[in-house]
Structure 1
Amino acid sequence: MLAYIGLGSNLNRPKEQIKNALITLNSTKDVKVVGLSSLYQSKPIDDLKQPDYINAICQVDTHLTALELLYVCQGIETKQHRVREKKWGARTIDLDIIIYGVKVIASKQLIVPHLQMINRAFVLVPLAELEPNFKVPVLGHIQDLIAKLDITKLIKL
């Protein structure tokens, strides 16, 4: 199964946090990182007073179920000292399953495609870098989704 995972960090050397998460993800049994977007710098959501984020999207080939992949991602966040104090707060690392094949999942633990992806240039632009003609399940063509967003503040590094 091909899945796309969003990575973001704005604490403790964000580029290193993303690199470490990718290394751990790739070394996980039944998960292979097969694609990686460029890094992008973005402002915090709602202009919260915190450092800018570094974001990327990776493509993984996995034999794990979506929930198993979620648990792997959460384990990596814990290993890298992610603290969940407040919604959209600063973080060492954030891993979100954005897409899991063509599946639509709506459970208490996981919603895929990611609910907020259509509002986030830092998700859609790197995803389009990997898959420029991608059709997001239920939501539509990636280029149409990007056209609805202001991407001027997103900086490709």
Structure 2
Amino acid sequence: MSATAGPDARPVHASIGLGANLGDPAAALREAFDALSRLPATRLLVASRLYRTPAWGRTDQPDYVNAAALLETALAPQALLAALLEIERRAGRVRDGHRWGPRTLDLDLLLYDDRVIDLPGLRVPHPHLHERAFALVPLAEIAAAEPFPGHGCVGDALAGVDAGGVVAIDAA
């Protein structure tokens, strides 16, 4: 399987959700933006502000810092996911099988162009994106018009969630 989408493939937009709540989460997200900008065959188009958000799923943990990035990439979806997991690993993330727990860095491939992908270990759009204000608020800040299969666009999906508790913590 090729790491890029193919020699004749056009670059696509990929939306990445970033989050952390251990160590220095804001620094971890800023370092992750830098790492995303260095991915091969990829350009970081825009990064959102950072947002403080309540924990989701398991609420017995510190608040998160969340953000989003919009990439233009020629990497195939599986190669992009592998690169995201490597960035997490370098940031000290250990995947121990516990869902929604505290973490040094979490990178999620939220959207990949207008594609629907259902493969082992990779589902795009992210299956819970339409429910998660902590992901939709930063993503809508930078990519409200991006297509979100099954939900119109990112801005449409954001209109359907309660965004209370999602607070920007740095300047635009």
Would the alpha carbon gap of residues 27 and 52 (structure 1) be closer, same or farther in structure 2, given more than 3 Å must change?
same
Cα root mean square deviation, aligned: 1.3
* Most deviating of 123-132 and 105-114: 123-132
Corresponding residue of 2:51: 40
Match of 1:71 in 2: 82
The equivalent position to 2:159 in structure 1, one of 132, 144, 147, is: 147
2:33 pairs, out of 1, 5, 22, with: 22
Amino acid of the residue matched to residue 136 of structure 2? L
Where in structure 1 are there 5+ consecutive unaligned residues?
none
* Residue matched to 2:127: 115
Deviations 1:90-126, CA, capped at 9 Å, x for gaps: 0000000001011110101210111000110011111
In structure 2, do the counterparts of structure 1 residues 100 and 90 end up closer, same or farther at CA, with 3 Å as the change threshold?
Answer: same
Q: Contact 2:81 / 2:109 at 8 angstroms: preserved in 1?
A: yes
State the secondary structure of the residue aligned to 1:136. coil
Amino acid at match of 2:119: S
Q: Does 1:126 align with 2:138?
A: yes
Deviation at 1:139, TM superposition (A): 2.1
Which of 61, 67, 70 aligns to 1:59? It is 70
Under a length normalisation based on structure 2, what TM-score does the superposition of the two structures give?
0.86
Partner deviation per Cα, 1:116-154 (whole Å, 9 max, x = no partner): 001100111111111233331222233332222111111
**Shift in CA distance, 48/69, structure 1 to aligned 2, threshold 3 Å:** same
Cα 1:135–1:63 change in 2 (3 A) is closer
* Corresponding residue pairs, total: 157
Give deviations 1:23-57, integer Å, cap 9, x for gaps.
Answer: 11211211211111111111111352211100011
SS in 2 for 1:46: coil
Structure 2 unaligned spans of 5+: 1-11
* Deviation at residue 16 of structure 1 after TM alignment: 0.7
Q: Report the structure, 1 or 2, having the larger helix content.
A: 1
Corresponding residue SS for 2:87: helix
